[in-house]
Amino acid sequence: MKKVDPQSPHSTENRRNKRQLETSPHSTAKRSRPDDGDRRPLLDFSLPNLSPAQAEQLSQAQAYARGWKPATRSEKPDDILLSLHFQPHVASGVDVRTLTVLSRIYVGSIHFDLNDAHLKAVFGQFGIVKNISLSIDYTTMRHKGFCFVEFDTPEAASLAVKMMHGADLGGRQLKVGRPNNFAAAAAVAKPLPPPGRFYIANVNQLITQENMESIFEAFGKLRACVLMPDISTRNHRGYGFIEFEEASAAEAAMEAMNNFEMGGQPLRVGPCIVGGPLGEGMKALDLLPVKKTTATEDDVMSKVNANIQSLGLNKKVEVPLILKPRPEVHLSTISNMVQEQVNAQGSVVESVDKEENISINSRQRYAIMQKLAASREEMTTILLVQNAVKASEVDDSLGEEFSEECSKYGLVRSVKVQVTSDESSIEGLGGKETGRETGDGDVKIFVEFGSAQATNKAFNILEGRWFGGRQLKATLLSKAAVEKYGL
């Protein structure tokens, strides 16, 4: 075999050393490369030659682009969405998980014949019900007798707990409270609402935001009146917020308007829980474009409406709302509830007639509210209770018993009892249906409380309550009535 000289440039060792030297980052040796004149670009991005006309058009386009500015709008899209979607508690910046806990309630002692549809109809009067989680026992295929109800707002949940705890539904008293994690969520720092703001719910769809403003103006100067809009239907969602400039006007309005019937539905009023901007309410819908239907669409819809009328499907089905929020008032039994719903499905009520029956006149409501506000200013803290006992059963301990009973509702200053055997002037006490008999006489018990809040609380509980086989009648007395009875 021919030997290769190690010093020869063709030796393996020399070739290896040369290759390492060329690839070393510290090497000063340069690889041989072609001359610059031999290199050619892989892609050529240069513009082709333009004709004089094309060059002129390009120049004009560049000049237009340099001078163009975006047109300003009076309303930004974000502002419109804020007014439509952002409710006060959402815009307050509170964590969503905290708001969810504040908007949940626990409902126990539920009758086993009730389902989530019944519960939604009952609790829907306090606000929008987002979800009802009714636990099911898969062994018996029946619910376990309790559920969690999630509302759209914390105010609706607070109002439901206040009004529905102890209420009778289907022969069973409901147990309404808060979930276990409520205390931690309530301790989270939240922006406080203005003192003149409160929450309203169960507003009839035919009552507009302007109607509400004209009604509540009777109590004082309004700062805001907002009903939350529904973009899909362009109607309000049945609840909103009222804000007065003075807190005293808000307290008077809450006291007078709670359970006040408007358009066939009792208005639900409660305090505001979380602060935040109110927005425009229903007025924000004016910022949205209105879709214009074409002639073809109108023709199609007219044919569909004609088919509906020919099939008799244009009747409005009215679902009865089976609810009395006060604990002392019993609700319908389950059999009555089911029967009422069956009757409702077979009922035929024209929508036009329904609107005529429910619609209100804002001027009439405004006049009523003025009278109501004026009468509230003259109210005292004295509550009159009648039909508690017979005239023959009155003794010295009756006043002490009522003082002890009424002290549960607040401070009791005094209790006075008036007895008369003359029944000629008795009105509104009923007969045997209230436990009265001829010759029972008239026993008037006047209870003076230390505050108007305690008086109203006692009235709400004692009115219609059964006591010793007799149904009580409670009356709030004005200054004129107090003078009439010589107190």
| Residue 258, domain member (yes or no) | yes
Tell me 74's DSSP state.
S
Residues 268 and 163: their CA atoms lie apart, in Å, by 10
Domain boundary among the residues 359, 377, 395 is at 377
389 and 245 in a single domain? The answer is: no
| Residue 133, domain member (yes or no) | no
| Residue 123, domain member (yes or no) | no
Domain boundary among the residues 327, 362, 377 is at 377
263 and 406 in a single domain? The answer is: no
* Whether the Cβ atoms of residue 263 and residue 362 lie closer than 8 Å to each other: no
Taking alpha carbons only, the member of 340, 344, 357, 348 closest to residue 316 is 348
398 and 284 in a single domain? The answer is: no
Instruction: Identify the three-state secondary structure at position 429.
Output: coil
Tokens of 452: 């108007």
363 and 456 in a single domain? The answer is: no
Tokens of 73: 């709008």
pLDDT of residue 19: 57
| Residue 237, domain member (yes or no) | yes
| Residue 175, domain member (yes or no) | no
Crossing angle of helices 362-377 and 247-257, rounded to 10°: 110
434 and 373 in a single domain? The answer is: no
pLDDT of residue 15: 63
Residues 171 and 336: their CA atoms lie apart, in Å, by 11
pLDDT of residue 101: 92
The CATH number of residue 471's host domain is 3.30.70.330
Look-up of token digits 């010093």: 7
**At a CB cut-off of 8 Å and minimum separation 6, what does 197 contact?**
224, 241, 242, 243, 244, 250, 272, 275
Residues 159 and 124: their CA atoms lie apart, in Å, by 11
405 and 267 in a single domain? The answer is: no
pLDDT of residue 286: 73
pTM above 0.85, yes or no: no
469 and 364 in a single domain? The answer is: no
| Residue 455, domain member (yes or no) | yes
pLDDT of residue 61: 79
Give the residue numbers spanning the domain of 418.
Answer: 378-484
254 and 360 in a single domain? The answer is: yes
pLDDT of residue 437: 83
* pLDDT by 10s per residue, the chain, length 487: 455 555 555 556 656 655 555 555 554 444 445 454 555 555 555 556 778 888 888 887 777 777 655 544 444 444 445 444 556 777 677 888 889 999 999 999 999 889 889 999 999 999 999 999 988 888 888 899 999 999 999 999 999 999 999 888 888 899 999 999 998 888 888 888 899 999 999 999 888 888 888 889 888 899 999 998 888 788 899 999 999 999 999 998 998 888 888 878 899 999 999 888 887 788 877 776 665 555 555 566 666 666 656 555 444 444 344 444 433 333 444 444 434 444 444 443 333 344 334 444 554 455 555 545 544 557 889 999 988 888 888 888 888 888 888 888 889 999 999 888 777 667 777 777 788 888 888 889 999 998 888 888 888 888 888 877 788 888 888 888 888 888 7
Please spell the DSSP secondary structure of 95-146, one letter per residue.
-HHHHHHHTEEEEES--TT--HHHHHHHHGGGS-EEEEEEEEETTTTEEEEE
402 and 448 in a single domain? The answer is: yes
| Residue 229, domain member (yes or no) | yes
391 and 467 in a single domain? The answer is: yes
| Residue 90, domain member (yes or no) | no
Helix (H) or strand (E) holding 18: helix 12-23
Domain count, the chain: 2
362 and 238 in a single domain? The answer is: yes
Residues forming beta bridges with residue 104, ordered by sequence position: 150
Tokens of 281: 């309410």
264 and 365 in a single domain? The answer is: yes
Taking alpha carbons only, the member of 111, 128, 229 closest to residue 167 is 111
pLDDT of residue 330: 39
Cα–Cα distances (Å) from 450 to 96, 362, 407, in that order, read 41, 36, 10
